[in-house]
Copies of this chain bind each other. A is one copy, B any other.
Amino acid sequence: MPDERRPRSVTRADVARYAGVSTAVVSYVLNDGPKAVAPLTRERVLDAVRVLGYRPNAAARALSKGAADMLGLLVNDNRNPFFAELCHALDQASAETGRSLLIVNSDRTQVTTSEQIRDLVSRQIGGLIIADVLTAREQALVESLGIPAVLIGPFGETDGLQSIGVDFCAGTRESTTHLIEHGYRDVAFVGSAARYDDRERGWREALVDARLAPGMLLHVPFSYQGGYDAGTRLADAERRPRAVVAASDQIAIGMLAAFGERGIRVPDDIAIVSFDGTVTADFVWPRLTTAVQPLEQMAAAAVRALLEPSPPGEHHAFPARLRIRESCGCRPGGGE
């Protein structure tokens, strides 16, 4: 005897019968085409769908649609404004190629990144974009999945995967040099101690080029709080530096808050340049002079790398572009 609690699935034919239309018309309504359906007929079909509780077999549909129309993105934390903008640029770049983008956060405590990757891949994606630092084991997993993958973001190159980034070293060398050209001799750096991060090296090289002594060096997390803490330490330093290079806009904004709280004026008492070029950097006061990462170009390159993969290990670094605003001491529009 059949189990009455589990009725057989409702089919498209049931919907068609209930609505008094052909199954093709049901398809047109549910897929929004290819043929138009009169509004009243459309309403009748949707009513039938509701009444019968029809649910198209999603897996069967996914199989028939093929796996290549959607890309996956694993991102460490979408709240970080830089990554939020990167996600969005990747979404737009995917859309340009007619593909959707499924975004998954990897900073969960409850599940491992490997599980997140496996989950994402099991959802029929045609390629995987990773905006995160992978462990060797996670990277081996990605390589074993047999789908195109690319690493994007501030993580440098890696042997087993293609990667897209920005030339950190040249970017901070240019922004540090800009501060030196303002006449500041005592230039600090606030950034991370991460092995893959070349921003500190760019700062160091610019000081060496200008025959200046190394300035104060602070390592903090990439967050507003990290920047705030650094700002507090700079403010309280015995000899406060005249200028500071921040490794990210978030760090610079946190520093601005610490300086503001203490009545330390930017750029008059201490000048700042930062890195990223996020939208927020343009809406703090003073506005941040910052090395802009060309997110749109980077995102387009990442999507291209999935569709026409390069050899594993190939790294493409885009140049950052210094955008001059007020925090460095310039007066854009009003001369220096």
Contacts and interface: CB of A to CB of B under 8 A. Distances in A.
A104 B101 contact: yes
A279 B79 contact: yes
Interface in A20-50: 30-32, 46, 49-50
B103 A104 contact: yes
Contacts of A58: 67, 121-124
A239 to B, nearest CB: 24
Contact of A108 (B55, B92, B260): B92
A13 interface: no
A50 B144 contact: yes
A159 interface: no
A65 B21 CA distance: 34
A95 B108 contact: yes
A62 B122 contact: yes
Interface stretch (A112-120, A172-180, A182-190, A193-201): A112-120
A221 to B, nearest CB: 13
A146 B53 contact: yes
A100 B206 CA distance: 45
A65 B122 CA distance: 10
A54 interface: yes
B100 A104 contact: yes
A225 to B, nearest CB: 8
A150 to B, nearest CB: 17
Nearest to A56: B122
Interface in A114-137: 114-116, 118-124
A234 to B, nearest CB: 15
Contacts of A111: 95, 98, 100
A296 interface: no
B62 A123 contact: yes
A65 B282 CA distance: 46
Contacts of A246: none
A59 interface: yes
Contacts of A225: 283
A314 interface: no
A244 to B, nearest CB: 16
A254 interface: yes
B79 A31 contact: no
Interface string A65-79: 101011000000111
Contacts of A88: 77-79, 105
A284 interface: yes
Nearest to A103: B103
A122 B102 CA distance: 12
A261 interface: yes
Given A54-B146, A79-B84, 20 more contacts: A32-B118, A46-B144, A53-B146, A56-B122, A61-B122, A65-B122, A78-B87, A78-B88, A78-B91, A79-B87, A79-B88, A81-B81, A98-B110, A102-B123, A225-B283, A253-B280, A256-B285, A257-B284, A257-B285, A261-B285
8 contacts: A30-B144, A59-B62, A70-B119, A78-B103, A96-B110, A102-B102, A103-B103, A224-B282
